[in-house]
Amino acid sequence: MEQDKNGEVYTKVVRAGKRTYFFDVKSTKGNDLYITLTESKKTHFNDGRENYEKHKIFLYKEDFEKFREGLDDVLSKIDSLRGTDNLNANSDDSSTYSSVSFDDL
């Protein structure tokens, strides 16, 4: 397995509007693979200087299949909702979503 000095094996960058997502496959010293998902969003300080807010999730090999199942499930649900009046595919109206706090999880 080819990796760099930081254990990075593969990176996929997805630019999506104001956000950039990084899907990084990394290797531990024991050659176990894991994934880091990073969201980077450009923001500005009050004085105009640029800043990048980053949020990172670590996904370990024992969770890959459950993560895939969960992602597939919600993407399937989104596809089915787009066919109904519950969600307009071209709408940016977030009023149809409930507010969830990390404290609720």
- Specify if 74 maps to a domain: yes
- Specify if 61 maps to a domain: yes
Number of domains in the chain: 1
Contact 60, 34 (CB under 8 A): yes
Q: Please give the pLDDT value at position 44.
A: 87
Render each residue's pLDDT in the chain as its tens digit; 105 residues: 777 767 889 999 999 988 999 999 999 988 899 999 999 998 888 898 889 999 999 999 999 999 999 999 999 999 999 986 555 555 554 444 444 444 444
- Specify if 1 maps to a domain: no
Question: Could you tell me which of 83, 76, 34, 78 has the C-alpha nearest to residue 56?
Answer: 34
- Specify if 101 maps to a domain: no
Q: Please give the pLDDT value at position 85.
A: 56
- Specify if 102 maps to a domain: no
Q: Please give the pLDDT value at position 86.
A: 56
Any idea what the CATH number is for the domain that residue 78 is in?
3.10.450.700
Range of the domain at 52: 8-84
- Specify if 47 maps to a domain: yes
Residue 79 to residue 101: CA distance in whole angstroms: 25
- Specify if 42 maps to a domain: yes
Strands (E), the chain: 8-16, 19-27, 33-44, 50-60
Q: Please give the pLDDT value at position 105.
A: 43
Q: Please give the pLDDT value at position 83.
A: 83
Q: Please give the pLDDT value at position 34.
A: 97
